[in-house]
Structure 1
């Protein structure tokens, strides 16, 4: 028998191991040898990479601990600044300050922020009596007993749960705490204790604890030497920490694959360990490292060890061996095919048959999944034959509107009859436009009438099938019930509005207090506090902008925003916007300029147009590099004028351009973005422009800056009224607010504007001031201690002597203000501003109100 015939007669198994197939075995052996060599090389590289990764990870842990402790020191310095700024801080003020810090959200692991007051032995009894008079009849400094010096915990917020055990405790009575407090008092700097057992360990697992102290001294006392600082000591702002909770709050999920132990290295400690999650096997870990860090007078040693899971992931991937083996097998198979062509061809044919069957089964399962997904979504489906106008809908679609399922196709007119009357024309027009155009898909919101008579909001999504000529043949799609979505959206809007309004009054107090302190009206601000107070004022202003954006968005969505439309000269409006943003541009080393012909009039609400231009300009300035120029260019085209704000920044990323005018849209939405903001500015800009019959848009190429434009209709010019003559009389105003701090802040603002203010905190005081003096204007809140501001306004309008007195209402209750303006719409001497008020806006509205009243009187 010929050799070829003998080979072909062999079974596949015997053919593979026959001498004819030796070349395939040789190729497979070479492939396996190459795989083993590459595996060894990859193992060495992975070990080096794992060592570098372990070093970076442990460095990151140490940096995170140091950074968080620095943040905690800033909290204590903020509390110390409050104590230094105020002669006496009340318990309520301390609680408000700590609540604003949102410790559980921003600084997890901290038990609270407290204040321990230094008490001399001779003043101990008086101190205890004073605290008892605050509503703590059982208060007593503990531990009880005579000592040469006491430091009783007076404030500790949040004042609940574990922290109640520390109230009144004399921390100076315990040696470890005393050592840290003595070091802080003598040095004038923040100091930290060694490991102690906290009084808060009242239940649960006991953790090692530490405390951080910042000393506070009596104002004006000499502080040059440790002895002088000890004598001038007023108390300590401090925070207690449970080390396990603190480290969990600092590191969280930053330590996958790493176990660590933290010990205090000071000699003589009975229990130097602060925290450890090491296990006995950690001593055998492949990667180990020790770091020493110095924090506020303490030396901490951080010992790290890798975990088995880290070491497993740091090894070479088993896929290397698997791929090498697969490659060897593939090469073996290809080589074997040269010898075993017939057998291999049959085997491949069988494999292809199995794959085809598997593919058909996968297709069937895919269709089944689509059907189940549609059922699970609780949406209905519908189909319209555009040739016969027959309509077919699913059982769920009919169920949404309260009708029994319809098995047979219905006339389209039957379905049109359930459209809500007010939505019918709009939907039919929109669908007609889709059918007549070449558009393939559509999505339209509409309302359907339920069988019981009420309307239901729905979202119709569909696709249009066309023939080769583009003629629409069929439309199919789904119908989604939006009732719950609309309800949730309304609740969300109401929630945002309510929360924002409730923030206005305390924010006004905070902003006013900071403005008064920073202005120097209460005396020179200590240099050590200046930066902290400036940071606090800047952030209160940022919060003010956030609340205003949220309320503007809510008012626009609800159609409650009032617009005072009148013709205005465009040049003046642009110049005012440039002037208002000049200081911000200078702080960023950016120049502002105006180009083009803006000598025309536009019919707008000047305040809202300022808001649009300010949004454009502030965005352009924020994203412009130092030394660049932001240009405001105007171009008139017939009866429309276009205002463009042009910057030289990095431009807008292409992926973000489609959503730039959407709510809360930001190109960089990460926590580490360089430019802060709410993402509402451009969404508000678009809504404001549409309300004033305008359009907005932009153009940008990444890396080549951006152009944001506003297009408005041109209005016929009006003659400007002559300026009211200055009669030289004193401009006096009466400021009425039940919060003395807010009243003082408003008085400070109007005093800077050239007015002479008088303040009152009640209706009775206001009436007394009005009886003995004639004022240029009245600035009043609505909710007062002994009455309502509306009553005072009505009484003034009923008196001929004050019926034309300019009145500016300042209040955080927007609904009351809207009703007031509606009821007094014919009263040109009445205006309204929401709290918290902006200084420039307050002066601008007051000047405009006074000028309008003078022009009316003239």
Structure 2
């Protein structure tokens, strides 16, 4: 941290201070603007809600009032002569058209003679308004002014409260006839108004102007305080009334000023810290660039001093980089390989798919021929691994010149072949002599001599087998082993092999499991195939417990015939599996020491099967081991 602050210079601190002052001023301006915007949004909401509620309330109240005016027009047109039967038709129709009308009454001469509906209003029949001291002054004022009035809430004689619309009627000769009275249901009006206000998320209040005065009376709906704060006030256009409505948003006003101020302060602080960090990073970047240059030079020196050729390509094989050993190995000028496909480094670039398959895992190597810039060829060993950098994939190729190794291997193989041939002649004579001696050609031998000669004859046979294995290994390595492919029936061949194994006087039972309706014909060299089968059966017998069963199972799938040799031994350890088919490989356990061999049998079997376009493998079963090989079916 001390290094961080010490890296900032004087002009850095001055610039940070100026930016902090500008940010504080801008923050206060934005907060003020946010407050104005919040109040503006609230006011727009109140105005929109007020318009809808005002229109709803005027509509709901004016409809019954206009229907009352229509009835008055009918009475005037009839000259004040009304018929009971006609009223029985008109009054129900009016009540049903306006949902808030509680009842309609007709009072000729100020006496209430007709009411609909009558049920529940019986006490109001024949009321004489001059006899009602709490209503007559208002009625008298209406008659005098000849103006209809909507008054209320009024406590009714028949019970309850309501708004009453009183309309004085004067017949054409200007003679006072009586009054029409419409009682408006206050509960349904208030319930509808409250529901709409809640839906609009606003609070409202209503009050009416005192008749004959400019002052408003008491609030008859809502909270009176709404008329004395900053609520929106609107006058209502209701017939016969002078009402005022106050409206205010009921939800809490979201004051985001403090949050905005804190957010802007935090953003400013982060920005200043980021800017300070950028100043610091700029100094560190220079230092890092220098170190990176040294690191790249070091890595390049390491790569250039590796004796093997290292080639880095893109995912599609285009060369991106190569070390100095690559250019020295192939004889190209340095830097001339970039942008070319790496297959040009091979003598047989057409086999690149085979190479990809052979090096699908980094542990596997491909051996082939490399092609130098001067068109000369050399033996190479190639391994491949994948590099992933972000979303990009690359290939890392490691190429080694194995010309000298191949030369040494050839010398070794030639030496082994020469020694094997030289040993075979005297070994044949020794083996023949021992056979004659143990067979009684020299006369009867005492038991001790017979035992010693038998041991010598057995050891001579093992030595002969070792020489044969060495010769086969050399022939396979040099490509001198000849194969005569033809149709071979597996069942008779296996039966013959079982007969040969039986002569070893083993205690295991050998069984062939097959589909009796199939011939099981394969394309193979009969002699070499018999050699492989004898090798697998011999191993199964050696490493199986006494009185166990060795199963030879024949199956066919995908135009290939599989021969599986399944024993009941202890199986192969997981550590030894990678070396199972290598030359001279032997597992370190008691059974292998008891049945010591050359370690060449499985290696030779693998090479023979692959030369006949087949494959060989191993599977661990529940109790024992399963060695198998597959060969092409005849006619496939």
TM-score when scaled to structure 1? 0.37
The TM-score with structure 2 as length reference comes to 0.49
Larger Rg, first or second structure (1 or 2): 2
